[in-house]
Chain A
Amino acid sequence: MERSEALFRTVLRLGDNSLVLGHRLSEWCGHGPQLEEDIAQANIALDLLGQARNYLTYAGEIEGKGRTEDDLAYLRTERQFLNVKLAELPKGDYAHTIARSFLFDAFHLPLQQALTKSPDERLAGIAGKAVKEATYHLRHSSEWLVRFGDGTEESHRRAQAAIDGLWMYTGELFAPDEAERTLIEAGILPDLASIKAEWDATVARVLAEATLVRPADGWMARGGKDGQHTEHLGFLLAELQYLPRAFPGAQW
């Protein structure tokens, strides 16, 4: 794969991961378990949206066809989104939301940290800002996962069920596609195996503190990185993209 094509697809994926997860978290706004959590989840969703805007703008520039952040977010179809499936799953109950965020954040923080050292300065710059945000996100999701795991019987049961149900979606985070392999070889993207080692350590530490059990690694879902998503993404995009699709060419 050409270097520029690989960079486009990878930066697009970084943007799609943040956009889709940010969208999911924003669904809690006004409906959270307590006001402080409405505020926290909105904060995190805003950080993710900000990252998405930076990455998508950069992806548009790499592509060189004049596509803006909004063209990329609002005018691509289901098969053209490259995010991991973990990001698009419905928000579920609050344990599910927290567990998904935790599994993602534990990957996202070391990835962004490593990207700050990328020879691609633009990528390093975007990641530099994202690191501070991802540090807070991981702290927030870890603290809540520990509260749930080591809280009441009900919260423990819900947290374990969430971790168990989400586990099969974690493999995709660390399985490079062709574009990622190209960039890893070129030294632009960190080796995902090294990110996986950090993820394993974080997951072991937090699950232990939460008195939760790490599920056995079984079959891992794939496909999101190639645009073969769950059925949920289509509905998310139908909602996200409704206005620009209904009024083509209008400015807002």
Chain B
Amino acid sequence: MDEKQLEAGFQAKVDAEQKIEPKDWMPADYRKNLVRQISQHAHSEIVGMLPEGNWITRAPNLRRKTVLLAKVQDEAGHGLYLYSAAESLGAARADLNDQLLTGKAKYSSIFNYPTLTWADIGAVGWLVDGAAIMNQVMLCRTSYGPYARAMVRICKEESFHQRQGYEIMCVLAKGTPEQREMAQDALDRWWWPSLMMFGPSDANSPHSAQSMKWKIKRQSNDELRQTFIDRTVPQADFLGLRIPDDKLKWNEATKHYDWGEIDWTEFNEILKGNGPCNKERLEARNKAHDEGRWVREAALAHAAKQAKKQAA
């Protein structure tokens, strides 16, 4: 079979909603696109541990501390499944990690914003995990089998995280005036960045059309963003908090909320590395990697000694 026939067979399989598995033939660009997307996703989980981890030692009671620590630990686990999914496509975890550390690979820009108050832990769970879930629920049906299966497991945990985040917001919104103010401030700062998480508008999204054809993606950035807004506005209303968008208004004709304009200049600046925490996040990852080198070397050296002893 020539390339064209293989490609036609592949597309037919995708169109018939059959999963593509690691040993199946796949177009080189499909593989490349997936490795890029899955590793970016894995990196986002790992870098995402930093802004939330920032509050583990300062959580306001032992229950919250336990839940937050367990949550950040879950993110590390998600990173591991996703690196495994990328490895099933022939990528090496060490190479992917190098790409993160050198700044060559991207991760979700949302994690370049700082968590300034405890309410940010609520807002991140509610909005950031909420936005991530929209994407991840879609990815449970993605065409590549190992990625879809990793997502099913991740989605279960993420929806738990989102509920925890919203619960923190509920307590703050019903708390003292200072706590309420803290909650509103967190919503003010996290709302627009959360909307940016869905990526550029469909017209400006470089990878979207091909990804849709290959059913890696199944809904467009704009569709997902609108669904997120429609779901989240009533939740903010319930909290009695104001979403920082003067143009936000229910549209009876479309049955959706109309809303304002995303500041794409900010989005692009953060992508270029100019966000509030880009530098800190990469430094923290590099520091952990560099300071952990002797630990990893010791583990390898010890394992080699043991293997030698067993062989003797």
Chain B binds chain A: yes
B298 pairs with A49, CB closer than 8 A: no
A29 pairs with B65, CB closer than 8 A: no
Q: A6 in the interface, Cβ–Cβ < 8 Å?
A: no
Alpha-carbon distance A151/B302, docked complex (angstroms)? 4
A30 pairs with B284, CB closer than 8 A: yes
- B60 cross-chain contacts in A, Cβ below 8 A: 74, 243-244, 250, 252
Given contacts A29-B49, A29-B69, A29-B72, contact A152 B301 (CB under 8 A): yes
Other-chain contact of B66, A38, A50, A147 (Cβ < 8 Å): A50
Interface footprint category on B:
35 or more
CB distance from B80 to the nearest CB of A (A): 6
CB distance from B33 to the nearest CB of A (A): 24
CB distance from B34 to the nearest CB of A (A): 21
A 39-67 to B, binary, CB cutoff 8 A, 1 in contact else 0: 10011011001101100100000000000
Q: A150 in the interface, Cβ–Cβ < 8 Å?
A: yes
Q: B292 in the interface, Cβ–Cβ < 8 Å?
A: yes
Binding-face segment, B155-163, B172-180, B221-229, B241-249: B172-180
- A52 cross-chain contacts in B, Cβ below 8 A: 62
CB distance from A199 to the nearest CB of B (A): 24
Alpha-carbon distance A199/B131, docked complex (angstroms)? 50
- A239 cross-chain contacts in B, Cβ below 8 A: 57-58
A150 pairs with B305, CB closer than 8 A: yes
Q: B237 in the interface, Cβ–Cβ < 8 Å?
A: no
Other-chain contact of A46, B64, B73, B178, B287 (Cβ < 8 Å): B73
CB distance from B2 to the nearest CB of A (A): 42
A 9-31 to B, binary, CB cutoff 8 A, 1 in contact else 0: 00000000001000100110111
- B251 cross-chain contacts in A, Cβ below 8 A: none
Smallest Cβ-Cβ distance to B117: which chain A residue = A243
Alpha-carbon distance A154/B65, docked complex (angstroms)? 35
A240 pairs with B58, CB closer than 8 A: yes
Q: A174 in the interface, Cβ–Cβ < 8 Å?
A: no
B80 pairs with A35, CB closer than 8 A: yes
CB distance from A83 to the nearest CB of B (A): 15
Given contacts A39-B77, A150-B302, contact A49 B295 (CB under 8 A): no
Given contacts A49-B65, A147-B302, contact A39 B76 (CB under 8 A): yes
- A56 cross-chain contacts in B, Cβ below 8 A: 62
Q: A215 in the interface, Cβ–Cβ < 8 Å?
A: no
Q: A136 in the interface, Cβ–Cβ < 8 Å?
A: no
Smallest Cβ-Cβ distance to B287: which chain A residue = A31
Alpha-carbon distance A140/B222, docked complex (angstroms)? 47
CB distance from B78 to the nearest CB of A (A): 10
In chain A, positions 236-251 with a C-beta closer than 8 Å to chain B are: 239-240, 242-244, 247, 249-251
Q: B291 in the interface, Cβ–Cβ < 8 Å?
A: yes
B294 pairs with A43, CB closer than 8 A: no
Alpha-carbon distance A26/B69, docked complex (angstroms)? 7
Among A38, A155, A158, residue most surrounded by chain B Cβ atoms (within 10 Å): A38
- A252 cross-chain contacts in B, Cβ below 8 A: 60-61, 64, 118, 168, 171-172, 175
Alpha-carbon distance A39/B53, docked complex (angstroms)? 13
Q: A178 in the interface, Cβ–Cβ < 8 Å?
A: no
In chain B, positions 245-271 with a C-beta closer than 8 Å to chain A are: none
Q: A105 in the interface, Cβ–Cβ < 8 Å?
A: no
B62 pairs with A42, CB closer than 8 A: no
Other-chain contact of B297, A70, A155, A240, A242 (Cβ < 8 Å): A155
- A218 cross-chain contacts in B, Cβ below 8 A: none
B61 pairs with A244, CB closer than 8 A: yes
CB distance from A224 to the nearest CB of B (A): 20
- B179 cross-chain contacts in A, Cβ below 8 A: 247, 250
Q: B199 in the interface, Cβ–Cβ < 8 Å?
A: no
Q: A217 in the interface, Cβ–Cβ < 8 Å?
A: no
Alpha-carbon distance A56/B79, docked complex (angstroms)? 34
In chain B, positions 63-86 with a C-beta closer than 8 Å to chain A are: 63-66, 69-70, 72-73, 76-77, 79-80
Other-chain contact of B62, A33, A35, A70, A250 (Cβ < 8 Å): A70
Q: B50 in the interface, Cβ–Cβ < 8 Å?
A: yes
Alpha-carbon distance A45/B79, docked complex (angstroms)? 20
Given contacts A39-B77, A152-B298, contact A49 B287 (CB under 8 A): no
A38 pairs with B298, CB closer than 8 A: no
A38 pairs with B73, CB closer than 8 A: yes
CB distance from A208 to the nearest CB of B (A): 15
For the A-B complex with A39-B76, A151-B297 known, give 11 more contacts whose Cβ atoms are closer than 8 Å.
Answer: A23-B57, A30-B53, A31-B53, A32-B288, A35-B80, A53-B63, A148-B295, A148-B298, A155-B294, A252-B61, A252-B168
Interface pairs (6), CB distance under 8 Å: A27-B56, A46-B73, A50-B66, A247-B176, A252-B64, A252-B118
10 smallest CB-CB distances across A and B, nearest first, come from A33-B292, A151-B298, A155-B298, A33-B295, A42-B73, A30-B53, A252-B60, A243-B60, A30-B49, A147-B302
